[in-house]
Structure 1
Amino acid sequence: MAPFSRATVCVTGGTGFVASELIKQLLEKAYTVKTTVRNPDDDEKLLHLKALAEGLPGSLSFHKADLLERGAFDSVVQGCTYIFHTASPFFIDSDDPQKALIDPAVKGTENVLQSAAKVSSVSRVVLTSSVAAVQGNFGAPPKNGKLYTEEDWNETSTIEKGQAYHLSKTLAEKAAWKLAKASKFELVTICPNFVLGPVMSRRSSGTSIGYMKGYLEGRGSLGSSANCDVRDVAKAHVLAAEIPSASGRYIISEPAPVPAAKQASEWLQAAFPSVKLSTGEDSKDTKELFDNSKAAKELGLNLTSPKSTLVDMAATMMALGIAKPTTKH
């Protein structure tokens, strides 16, 4: 399965944080990209993607598709070589987690893969999963006492525990593997940790954006946790599609030990000396440690430094007006 110059690919959920960066990288490599969005006529929300398409060698088109509608992706995946299924809600709190999180994640994945199975041109599907499908309880130590690996699965999350997001990603990935076994296409899943990094659109929202926005505006603090850069996550998707030997699951995460929150705060304060920022609080019992060696070995993925991830995210959010921090007097 060699890389195709200007091959046609589909990216679901094109306005998402990861999807936007993925589309950028695909366009840079001259792919023809079809992306699904809720409303192709929402010019403001699509502005950053249209701007990318104008300045890069690939081509981009927008298509309306409902994750919960069976057959909604049948037409858009026609002629595609690769499908990147990134669309899935990412937020922790919801009054109806079954409807808001689990159904879109699981049924959406099933609908996309069922559409892929109908098309002979689709050779590989790359699914955006999460370390939430690897590890259940926040901060729980790995079963082997060392690191979480791709062999681990989240077997503990429930709605009752308040872990609907973790459950949604686990059930969605398991559904994908079940469907892939009965289909001709190959499946590769990407399991990123908490995704941070540069933002493209002033309309960007979500848990990752809210996390950094809260810190920059003095309403929150940085914690000691393993993160990953959106640019690395997107690159992992592309490599997972292009490299013939890529297979199984790939954890994308900072290596252990994770950077201390105090160090992260110092990086940001040094980069933006005029901005008033709080000092991060180091956690003494962080056990969320993940083995990222499979992605390094099999995909050749070299991770962006945690410092660059944080500084670039803060810089773009302030430049776009998403975050409005207090300046020092």
Structure 2
Amino acid sequence: MTDVARIAVVTGASGFVATELVSQLLHKGYTVRATVRSTKNAEKTAHLEAIGKVFAGKLEFHEADLLKEGSFDEVVKGAYYVFHTASPYQLEIEDPENDLVKPAKEGTLNVLKSVAKSKDTVKRVVLTSSFAAMVKLEKGPKSGKLYTDVDWNDEAKADKATGYYFSKAVAEKLAWDFAKEHGIDLVTINPTGVFGPVISQRSDSTSVKQLKGIIENTSSFIAPWVCDLEDVARAHVLAAETPSAKGRYLVTWPSEINPKQAVEVLSKRFPQYKFPSDADSKPTKEFADVSKLENELGMKITPWQTSFIDMATSLISHGVAKPVKA
């Protein structure tokens, strides 16, 4: 690869998935341009700076505002790959349109507009979308349903209940339309709930909050669809580097799990702690086909049990989760 081909942009770099992506790219020899809202917010960037110290001169920080057109022009200029991971992820919000939909749509469009100005060097854009852009929740789980990369969520609305799902669907559709119109090579990664080891004491990730609740014996809720953090980041890298990669890649454990299964796995690994006794054991109804990911990118899905144990171990060791002794 030329020097240009070794430059990758990661938007929203301080996020949970983006941090792992930055790490994997650095380990592969890329120079990473990491965008954050403020380079002065040490709480949001300290964990990235710690990673960057191992790769002298390979990690650069750039301020960029998703809602400001042109904000990504300079950071994208001269890059080879652009990974757009930045998007709000909040399930509990007051104003869905302004808190979720607007930043998701405008942020995606603003990044792609900057890419369109640098098409001479940018080889491919990998967009972090979501299973939320595929799954349909309005009528509940559908027995025997098999999700694939062709599924679209056309039920969600810009309301408090499904605003996040709506934001991901409309932002991804907007991205595909813009990419087609402007000749941008686009691939999307559509993960379910992401679980895996944390490297900082931040606890604002939705998956962190869910597992933290189980570890601290305060809640037994866990989302039914889960995937592994390292798998998601690896899928981004492979989707960029594999010339034949195209379309959407669903990253998930191929079937739903339930809270009781999660509690049983953690109880077995950490018998010294007390876990919720009221965990739901609802049976699996829906499934997912990840053969496209496996066949085209050569990936194998990490067992969800490994992801949960890795995350729980790191949450406890970092003091983010405080388990209750049995």
TM class by smaller structure: over 0.9
- TM (normalized to structure 1)? 0.93
Q: How does 1:16-27 map to 2 (within 5 A)?
A: 16-27=15-26
1:140 is aligned to: 140
| Counterpart secondary structure, 2:147 | coil
Give the 3 Å change call, closer, same or farther, for CA 280–64 of structure 1 in structure 2.
farther
| Counterpart secondary structure, 2:218 | coil
> Quick one: which amino acid aligns to residue 309 of structure 2?
V
Aligned residues: 325
2:247 is aligned to: 248
Give the 3 Å change call, closer, same or farther, for CA 92–320 of structure 1 in structure 2.
same
CA contact (8 A) 2:211 2:222 kept: no
Which range moved further: 126-135 or 217-226?
217-226
Q: Distance in 1 between matches of 2:6 and 2:108?
A: 23
Which range moved further: 280-289 or 163-172?
280-289
Q: Give aligned-pair identity as a percent.
A: 47
Q: How does 1:1-329 map to 2 (within 5 A)?
A: 7-56=6-55, 59-119=58-118, 120-137=120-137, 140-141=140-141, 145-160=144-159, 162-223=161-222, 225-256=224-255, 258-279=256-277, 281-284=279-282, 286-328=284-326
CA contact (8 A) 2:258 2:282 kept: no
Please state how far the C-alpha of 1:57 moved relative to its aligned partner: 7.3
CA contact (8 A) 1:38 1:65 kept: yes
Q: Distance in 2 between matches of 1:31 and 1:323?
A: 33
CA contact (8 A) 2:5 2:80 kept: no
Please state how far the C-alpha of 1:273 moved relative to its aligned partner: 2.0
Question: What is the root-mean-square deviation in Å for CA atoms of aligned residues?
Answer: 2.1
Q: Distance in 1 between matches of 2:189 and 2:42?
A: 30
Please state how far the C-alpha of 1:140 moved relative to its aligned partner: 3.5
Which range moved further: 158-167 or 247-256?
158-167
Give the 3 Å change call, closer, same or farther, for CA 161–224 of structure 1 in structure 2.
closer
> Quick one: which amino acid aligns to residue 105 of structure 2?
V
Consecutive unaligned residues of structure 2, counting only runs of 5 or more, are none
Q: Distance in 1 between matches of 2:213 and 2:203?
A: 14
CA contact (8 A) 1:81 1:123 kept: yes
Q: Distance in 2 between matches of 1:204 and 1:55?
A: 24
Consecutive unaligned residues of structure 1, counting only runs of 5 or more, are none
CA contact (8 A) 1:194 1:226 kept: yes
Which range moved further: 273-282 or 161-170?
273-282
